[in-house]
Amino acid sequence: MRIDFESTPAALPVFSTDTFDDFESFNDAERLLKRGVAAAQSGDRDASRKILTHVVALDPACEDAWMWLASISDYP
């Protein structure tokens, strides 16, 4: 007995540019950090959290991003 499987190529997910409109440059963590800090200082915690989370994904050793994320945390 032989089982034949159809091989369907796995398609990679396609991300549209509007998904990442807040993140103009994926490699510029320093500029994103400044945008995240500015958003935190202006009181826009949700936008700041999204931007700073992206910064720490790019550069996990960025202490400034971690500190700002801690400062806008919902939990003390």
pLDDT digit string (tens) for 17-73?
Answer: 444 544 444 458 999 999 999 999 999 999 999 999 999 999 999 999 999 999 998
∠ CA 68-35-71, rounded to 5°? 15
- The pLDDT tens digits of the residues spanning 54-66 come to 999 999 999 999 9
Q: 41-66 burial, b if ≥16 CB within 10 A, otherwise e?
A: eeeeeebbbebbebbbebeeebebbe
Cβ-defined contacts of 27-35 (< 8 Å, 24+): 27/58, 29/55, 29/58, 29/59, 29/62, 29/65, 32/58, 33/62, 33/64, 33/65, 33/68
| Confidence label for 4 from pLDDT (cuts 50, 70 and 90) | low
Is the whole model's pTM more than 0.85, yes or no?
A: no
pLDDT of amino acid 28 = 85
